[in-house]
């Protein structure tokens, strides 16, 4: 059912629609926040003779992955759903288009904060997590949080602009999401990944690896991106103390995604303008042809009437 844009509170209406749809999508809830909570629970409850087995930044990794999931998959689904209610490309009013996208992004950021709060709140039930939270570098964590969210948003928007098939978009995002879950220290501890060169190299191709590493390092207050394990051993997150690499690469990714999105929008806008111009030219041509034809008929009628009049005069 298409929504009439005239005299509608677009922002509020779409926000409510997204809110209702989100809590009805059980599969999305399970694959995102619930699965992360289950994974966190397993790591918190499993112990070895020397203590805990998980990485010390496990909670930071959970926050980052939940943010990726919400920022990417949820935004993409909402764009598809809203597009079925309001054909986004058919909106000519800048103000209405702005309201639609503000509603999409604000809802996405709101629901992500709820998910992050739920994960962190649950983790505080474990005493070890409370100790780790006390050592956080909040500057790094907050910076990385917004970087992760905006990168995931841009990635989702980019896929939606390039591919019109929602199933293909979802498959690509699920692949990226679950690859990161396994290779960025949530399911498999990072010290095991670091010991396998091919696996470590593969992790560099996950687009949100760099911003996730910032939030994980911030969680441990490790500005050089070297994490100290519970047994005292150190694990390099893959930058060999070149702390500038994750910051620069993550910002470059945002810049590249932004350029791609603006380029696609410009190309589509140009094509739309050309189509509209062709339609106008075609209609104008048909109108002028009809007008000229009418004028030609009038001239022929005048000539015929004159000829008839001349014949009558001769008689």
Helix ranges (DSSP H) in the chain = 10-24, 26-29, 35-45, 58-69, 75-85, 94-123, 127-133, 138-162, 166-183, 190-194, 197-203, 209-219, 244-314
Instruction: Name the 3-class secondary structure at 196.
Output: coil
pLDDT at 1: 45
| In the predicted structure, residue 271 carries a pLDDT above the cut 60 | yes
Give per-residue pLDDT as tens, 43-94. Answer: 777 754 444 456 677 888 889 999 999 999 899 888 888 777 766 665 656 6
Residue span of the structural domain in which 27 resides: 10-267
DSSP annotation of 226: E
Domain presence at residue 16: yes
| In the predicted structure, residue 172 carries a pLDDT above the cut 80 | yes
Average pLDDT over residues 234-261: 90
Domain presence at residue 164: yes
pLDDT at 247: 94
The more confident residue out of 253 and 28 is 253
Q: Are 18 and 103 in contact (CB under 8 A)?
A: yes
The more confident residue out of 277 and 58 is 58
| In the predicted structure, residue 240 carries a pLDDT above the cut 80 | yes
Q: Which residue has the tokens 């980052």?
A: 64
CA angle, residues 115, 117, 121, in degrees to nearest 5: 120
pLDDT at 255: 95
pLDDT at 214: 93
pLDDT at 48: 47
Burial bucket for residue 93 (CB in 10 Å: 0-12, 13-18, 19+): exposed
Q: What percent of the chain has pLDDT over 90?
A: 21
Domain presence at residue 284: no
H helix or E strand, kind and range, residue 91 = none
Instruction: Name the 3-class secondary structure at 110.
Output: helix
Domain presence at residue 313: no
Domain presence at residue 5: no
Number of structural domains (the chain) is: 1
**The tokens of 281 are what?**
């030219």
Domain presence at residue 178: yes
How high is the mean pLDDT of the chain? 79
The least confident of 37-46, 105-114, 187-196, 286-295 is 286-295
Give per-residue pLDDT as tens, 3-39. Answer: 445 445 777 888 888 888 888 888 888 877 888 888 8
pLDDT at 297: 58
Q: What percent of the chain has pLDDT over 70?
A: 75
Does this model's pTM top 0.85?
no
pLDDT at 295: 52
| In the predicted structure, residue 211 carries a pLDDT above the cut 80 | yes
Domain presence at residue 28: yes
Domain presence at residue 180: yes
| In the predicted structure, residue 155 carries a pLDDT above the cut 80 | yes
DSSP annotation of 89: G
pLDDT at 156: 92
């Amino acid at each position: 059912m298409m929504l009439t844009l005239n005299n509608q509170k677009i922002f509020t209406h779409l926000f409510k629609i997204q809110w209702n749809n989100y809590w009805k999508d059980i599969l999305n809830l399970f694959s995102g926040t619930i699965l992360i909570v289950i994974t966190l629970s397993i790591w918190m409850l499993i112990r070895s003779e020397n203590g805990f087995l998980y990485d010390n930044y496990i909670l930071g990794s959970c926050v980052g992955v939940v943010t990726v999931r919400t920022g990417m998959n949820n935004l993409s689904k909402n764009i598809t759903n809203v597009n079925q209610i309001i054909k986004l490309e058919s909106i000519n009013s800048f103000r209405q288009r702005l309201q639609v996208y503000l509603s999409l992004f604000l809802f996405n950021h709101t629901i992500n904060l709820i998910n992050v709060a739920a994960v962190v709140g649950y983790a505080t039930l474990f005493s070890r997590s409370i100790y780790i939270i006390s050592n956080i570098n909040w500057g790094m964590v907050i910076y990385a949080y917004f970087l992760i969210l905006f990168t995931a948003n841009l990635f989702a928007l980019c896929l939606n602009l390039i591919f019109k098939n929602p199933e293909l978009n979802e498959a690509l995002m699920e692949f990226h999401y679950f690859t990161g879950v396994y290779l960025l220290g949530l399911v498999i501890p990072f010290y095991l990944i670091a010991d396998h060169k091919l696996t470590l190299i593969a992790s560099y191709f996950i687009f949100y690896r760099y911003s996730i590493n910032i939030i994980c390092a911030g969680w441990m207050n490790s500005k050089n991106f070297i994490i100290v394990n519970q047994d005292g051993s150190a694990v390099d997150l893959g930058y060999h103390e070149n702390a500038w690499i994750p910051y620069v690469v993550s910002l470059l990714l945002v810049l590249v995604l932004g350029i791609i999105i603006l380029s696609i929008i410009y190309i589509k806008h140009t094509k739309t303008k050309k189509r509209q111009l062709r339609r106008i030219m075609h209609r104008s041509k048909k109108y002028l042809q009809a007008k000229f034809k009418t004028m030609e008929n009038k001239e022929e009628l005048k000539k015929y009437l004159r000829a008839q009049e001349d014949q009558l005069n001769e008689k």
